[in-house]
């Protein structure tokens, strides 16, 4: 599968077309600066961003692991596995999937890895994001990256769009302004 084919499929599986563009730079940096460390994706839905990360790890060919965590809200797990597992098998990328709350994963299992990249698209409530960032900092490599979906930094744009009313965007923004 070439890049364009992968991108078309990944965008079709996600409700955020902007994710792939936003994730590309931190992903490229993490691939170059943190060799041999795993990648963590919190919040997977149907697997669009998962495929995007998985494809890059496959192309790199170093056998790095992709660890995914989602609490399986609204039954996304089955569709996620239908979309992703054929590529995990074909590309032979080490893969772990945890069906649990992101906080439970961080407190019980994250210590097993050092992460070059954490892509956070999970629960965006301010206390959850704050906890996640504080606790995950122990498991992110020195040159590691954190990418957070739904973070908005322009408060004027945020207010004009009405997004300050949404927990997904507002929670992340609130935490990042305080960190």
Radius of gyration over alpha carbons of the chain, in Å? 16
Q: Is 38 helix (H, G, I), strand (E, B) or coil?
A: strand
Sheet holding 38-42, edge to edge: 95-99, 66-70, 38-42, 115-120, 140-148
- Superfamily (CATH H level) for 3-178: Vaccinia Virus protein VP39 (3.40.50.150)
What residues contact 69, with CB distance under 8 A and at least 6 apart?
40, 41, 42, 43, 44, 97, 98, 100, 102, 105, 122
Residue 165 has pLDDT above 50, yes or no: no
pLDDT computed for residue 115 by the predictor: 92
- pLDDT tens-digit map of 52-89: 999 999 999 888 999 999 986 677 788 889 999 999 99
pTM of the model: 0.82
Question: What tokens appear for 77 in the block?
Answer: 């797990």
DSSP character at residue 44: -
Average pLDDT, the chain: 80
How many Cβ atoms sit within 10 Å of the Cβ of residue 78? Answer: 9
pLDDT at 26: 85
Cα 83 from Cα 168, distance rounded (Å): 25
Q: How far apart are CA 177 and CA 179, in angstroms?
A: 6
């Amino acid at each position: 599968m070439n890049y364009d084919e992968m991108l078309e499929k990944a965008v079709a599986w996600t409700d955020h077309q902007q994710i792939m563009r936003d994730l590309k730079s931190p992903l490229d940096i993490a691939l170059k600066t943190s060799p041999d460390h795993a990648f963590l994706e919190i919040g997977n839905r149907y697997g669009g961003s998962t495929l995007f990360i998985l494809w890059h790890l496959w192309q790199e060919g170093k056998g790095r692991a992709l660890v995914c965590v989602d609490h399986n809200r609204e039954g996304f797990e089955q569709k996620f596995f239908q979309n992703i597992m054929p590529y995990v098998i074909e590309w032979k990328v080490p893969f772990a999937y945890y069906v649990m709350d992101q906080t439970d994963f961080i407190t019980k299992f994250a210590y097993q890895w050092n992460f070059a990249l954490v892509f956070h698209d999970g629960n965006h409530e301010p206390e959850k994001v704050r906890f996640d960032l504080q606790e995950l900092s122990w498991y992110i490599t020195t040159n590691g990256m954190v990418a957070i979906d739904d973070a908005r930094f322009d408060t004027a744009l945020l207010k004009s769009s009405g997004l300050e009313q949404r927990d997904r965007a507002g929670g992340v923004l609130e935490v990042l302004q305080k960190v």
